[in-house]
Amino acid sequence: MEYLALLRGINVGRNNRITMADLRAAFTSARFTNVRTYISSGNVMLTSLQPPDVVQERSQAVVREWGLNVPVSTFVARELLKVLASAPAWWTAPAAGSISNAIFVCPPTSPEKVLAAMGAADDEEQSRVDGPVIFVTSKATKFMDTRWSRTPAAISTQITIRNVQTTLKLGELLAERV
């Protein structure tokens, strides 16, 4: 089965540094196969015969073994591709001057818990939950004023964010694998 593992906070500033070659080697040594990374922000595509809960546990163990204190979200590729296929048009093709992000919720937290902790959206934001993903679009000039630019510490470790371009590219790469 094909999976996507998203590591939060990899290679941001001076923290949690790891090369993608080392990350691929770490996942391969954990007996995942067909391991591929995309850009240096902790996007790992892999194959495993194990069920999703075991892949989640093993993925988290891989990053702990490297001394990285970051959450990992793993997704079954086919399920994630269904979510991405139903993404709203305002997210996949944001209006000029807008920013779109996908907020991936790390287990065991739910999108509903994340949204409750984040408080109400302002008038400049569009959002929609689909499975473990919160699709968000806001005006670029207002993004630093949105709730997502100031995520509370208790929630920031429960989510990982990818921009629309990265998310759609990951979808393309996953589609080639399934």
H-state helical runs in the chain: 20-29, 52-65, 77-85, 89-92, 111-118, 153-156, 164-177
Which of 2-16, 42-56, 79-93 shows the lowest mean pLDDT across its residues? 2-16
Q: Does the pTM exceed 0.75?
A: yes
- Of 133 and 155, the one with more pLDDT: 133
**Confidence (pLDDT) at 163:** 94
Position 157 scores a pLDDT of 83
The whole-number pLDDT of residue 41 equals 87
Write out the two tokens for 47: 């194959």
Share of the chain above pLDDT 70, in %: 99
The whole-number pLDDT of residue 14 equals 76
Predicted confidence (pLDDT) at residue 30 exceeds the cutoff of 90: yes
Q: HSE-up of 14 (CA within 13 Å, CB side)? A: 0
Tell me if 100 sits within 8 A of 91, measured CB to CB. Answer: yes
pLDDT value, residue 66: 84
**pLDDT reading at 127 higher than 80:** yes
What average pLDDT score do residues 14-43 get? 91
The CB-based long-range contact list for 57-64 (8 Å cut-off, 24+ gap) reads: 58/30, 58/32, 59/5, 59/27, 59/30, 61/30, 62/26, 62/27, 62/30, 63/7, 63/26
| pLDDT for 131 | 93
- Residue 108, pLDDT above cutoff 90: no
